[in-house]
Structure formats: structure tokens, C-alpha cells
Amino acid sequence: MRIFTLSLSALLMAFATTSVMAQQGHPLAGIWIGDWGPATDTRNFVVVEMNWHDTTLSGNINPGFPDAATITGSELNSSNWTVHLEAQGNDESGNSVSTMIDGRLENLGSPNRVLSGTWQKGAVKGDFTLTRE
Amino acid sequence: MHKYRSEKTTTGTGLFILAIMMSQSVLAQPTGLSDPRPIPRLENGQPSFTPPAGEIGVWNRGDYRSIMPETPEQVALRNRGRVRDDPSGLKPRFSDVPFQPWAQELYMWRQEHEIEPYGRCKPTGGYRNMVVPYGTDIVQVPDEQRMYIFQTGGSHSFRTIYLDGRAHPEDLEPSYGGHSVGHWEGDTLIIDTVGFNERGWIDAYGAPTTKMLHLTERLSRLDFGTFSYEMIIDDPGAYTDTWSTGMLMRWTPERETFQFLCQDGNLAQELMVGEGSSGIDRTSSIIP
């Protein structure tokens, strides 16, 4: 419990710093916060960190948490601002699991733009909404 | 679809072709010797961009644009129908700019939907720092081996250019204007800037930047009344290659910079938030 509290505190501090430094640049780069889940009453808090370097996107889902996943593949279709992300990580039990995310960017001109769509983690399918901090 | 595109596409395209032809024919035209005096110089022999002793004046921008449009859609919505050539011959055509796909689409999206950060009182760096209303004041301080570029219109901000041979800091905090160092190559001042925070645009019209942006600016005083401003953009996060643009800056005597506070008493409040009458979506949350 203490480790979880410390991790959460560190994560929140990182978010606070990032919010001050909120940047634009590449449309996907930044810290995104939101939730995903198979139903409106079954939601999972999620943080996605994405970085853009030259022509490559890298990033992590829920960095620092037991269910963290590394983004292993990405595609941004800038003709309609749709996004495909693939990630590999663990579930809460530590078992390897793949995540597939398909979404669309909205409010593109805002630093606090929104990415929403479908989220599949293992066999569980749902929807998601992320807002860039 | 905007009205201009649905009703005037043929005329608009024709005007753009004409504009491009005109721009090709006036490349490197004379700079206009309105003042026949020689280029002023500092005691160390370097060209001076500061007003001569006993005189006042500021540098005024040339053509705003960093990129020459080739179709009406490549022009910001608020400016469509205003066709101008490029007297400097320094600007690339749109198709010559090596955009990454996302950067090109974002540029096009911004023509329809966005007002630039500068119009919302954000500080600027590089090219946009030069193309401000009411003039730019360049103050050289040889004893301190640095110079300052003060913009009048805008966010009342300035840039410091270090000319003492220092390098960029290793742990640079990203900022709107970045960190600038300069040196002379003959009569041309070279300014090297890194450390941008991604919140700015290259120009007024939406050329994107990333944290990888590295600017090289070349200031060459051509005669008493003119200097050439060229900028080389190296940003592998947004462009597949380096590209350059520029303009001619004109000396405007009898004018001085003044205390222009964009944030206070802004006379363009309609540009800040809300829907404008021109149809531009100004609901973006990029506001001060």
C-alpha cells in the first residue's frame, strides 16, 4: 500500500510538472489521462505517455504501475487524424498481455486535445477517452 | 467548404498562378536605396543594426509569409483573396517544403481553423519575432558581447543573442524563444538557436515545430535601408529535411519602439476566443 501511495504521489508530481510544460509539437506527443473499460460502470484509470523523436513514436501505458505496458507499434493517419497503437505489458496478475488501441484525435488545435475510440486489452474490449494534459 | 472555394476556385487558382509567375520574375530585385549612406558600422567594423548616433528608427518586416502558397487552400482563411508576390525571392513554394505527412496536414488544418499563438499574446522566436507590427529594435552591445532583439507589437518580449563564444547550455529549459548564440561570418551575423518549447509556430500561418527545432538565422545588411533575413529550419521531428525561408527587412527612420502590451488593452479581442464573423473556428483552447 505504501509503495502504491508513493508511486501515485510521484506520478501526480510528474503530471503537475508536465501540465505546466504542456507542449504542442507532434499531435500525439505528451501525457494523456483518461479511462477505458467494457462498460460505463467498469472503468480503468489510465495514463499514456507518448514521445515523438524524428519519425518514431515511443511511449508507455500506466508507467510505474504493475499493469504498465510499452507501446510497440503506432500509426497516425493524418488525413483523418485516426490513430492505431499497439502495446505489450502485463495484466494485474503479471501475465503478459497485448493492448490494441484505435482512436481519433479531436480538438486538434488544443494542447488539451482528446483521443477516443476502442481499447482492447487481451480478450477484453471496450471504449476509451484520453485528454492530453 | 468555405465560400471562396465553392464560388471562386477558378479565379483564385488563376490569381495564384499569376502571383507565382510574378514572384519568379522579381527574384533578387534591387533592395531600394532610399538612403544612399553606407552601411553603418560599429567601432570594431561589424555592421550595425542599431540606429546611428543621434537618429532613431526601427526595422520593419517584409512579407509575413514563410511559405509561398500554390493553391487558395494553402492560405489562411482570413487572408484568402489577398494575393501578393514575394519580393525577396527567399521563400520556398509550398510543394518545396519537406513536411512530414502529419506536419503538412496540421499546417493545412491550421489554415482553416486556427489563429496563431502570437495573436493570442504568446511570445515568439526566430522568424515570427521579426515579423511584428510597429517595428523591431535591434540593439547591439559590443562591450557585453551580446545583442538584443526587441519586438514592438506582440507580447512585449525580447531575445538575447550571446556573441561571446559560449555554447548552448547542456540542461536547457525549453522556452518560446529558445537559447541563441551568434557569431559573424564576414558582414553576416549568424544566430544559432535551440531549446524551443513546441508552443510556437515558424511563422504566422502554422508551420509546425517540435522540440527538435534548430534554427539558423542569417542577417546580412545589404545597404543602409535594408537587411536580408534568412532562416534555415532544421527540425527532424516535423520535416524530412532542412529548408529555408526569409525576407527583406526595411529601415524605417523617425520611429521608435514603444510600450505595446498585447496582454493589456488588446485591440484584437475578437481574435482571442469565440466565433468570429469570418467563419474561423476560434474555440480552440489555446488562449492566454
Distance CA B22, CA B13 (A): 14
pLDDT at position B266? 57
* Region of residue A30 (left: phi > 0; alpha: psi -120 to 50; beta: else): left
Q: Which residues pair with B188 in a beta bridge?
A: B185, B220
CB contact under 8 A, B174 and A21: yes
pLDDT at position B55? 94
Which residues lie closer than 8 Å to B266 by C-beta, 6 or more apart?
A: B121, B272
Q: Give the distance from residue B117's alpha carbon to the nearest chain A alpha carbon, in angstroms.
A: 11
**The amino acid at B87:** P
Which residues lie closer than 8 Å to B33 by C-beta, 6 or more apart?
A: B223, B224, B225
Residue A111: closest C-alpha in chain B: B286
User: Is A78 touching B (CB cutoff 8 A)?
Assistant: yes
Distance CA A115, CA A28 (A): 9
Longest dimension (CA), chain A: 46
- Alpha helices, DSSP H only, in chain A? 2-20
Q: Give the distance from residue B105's alpha carbon to the nearest chain A alpha carbon, in angstroms.
A: 6
**Helix (H, G, I), strand (E, B), or coil: what is residue B149?**
strand
Model confidence pLDDT, tens digit, residues B64-92: 889 999 998 888 877 776 666 777 789 99
How far, rounded to the nearest angstrom, does the alpha carbon of residue A106 sit from its chain's CA centroid?
15
pLDDT at position B264? 67
Q: What is the mean pLDDT of chain A?
A: 85
pLDDT at position B267? 56
Which residues lie closer than 8 Å to B57 by C-beta, 6 or more apart?
A: B51, B251, B252, B253, B254, B255, B256
Which residues lie closer than 8 Å to B190 by C-beta, 6 or more apart?
A: B182, B183, B184, B216, B217, B218
Model confidence pLDDT, tens digit, residues A76-85: 999 999 999 9
pLDDT at position B10? 36
Question: Could you say which of A23, A27, A110 has the minimum Cβ distance to residue B102?
Answer: A27
Cβ proximity of B280 and B115 under 8 Å: yes
B115 CB neighbour count, 10 Å cutoff? 26
Give the phi and the psi of residue B53 in degrees, each rounded to 5: -55, 130
A79 CB neighbours in chain B (<8 A) are: 105
The parts of chain B modelled with pLDDT lower than 50 are 1-32, 275-279, 285-288
Longest dimension (CA), chain B: 60
pTM, rounded to two decimals: 0.81
B112 CB neighbours in chain A (<8 A) are: none
- Quick check: ipTM above 0.85? no
Cell 561570418 sits on residue = B185
Cell 501540465 sits on residue = A19
* Exposed / middle / buried, residue B168 (Cβ in 10 Å: 0-12, 13-18, 19+): middle
pLDDT at position A2? 45
CB contact under 8 A, A110 and B284: yes
* Region of residue B18 (left: phi > 0; alpha: psi -120 to 50; beta: else): alpha
Cβ proximity of A131 and A36 under 8 Å: no
Distance CA B96, CA B241 (A): 11
Question: Could you say which of B102, B104, B199 has the minimum Cβ distance to residue A23?
Answer: B199
pLDDT at position B270? 55
**The amino acid at B232:** I
Question: Exposed e or buried b for every residue in A47-77, given b needs 16+ CB within 10 A?
Answer: bbbbbbeeeebebbbbbebebebebeebebe
Cell for B92?
520556398
The parts of chain A modelled with pLDDT lower than 50 are 1-23
CB contact under 8 A, B237 and A53: yes
Model confidence pLDDT, tens digit, residues B186-234: 999 999 999 999 888 998 889 999 999 999 999 999 999 999 999 999 9
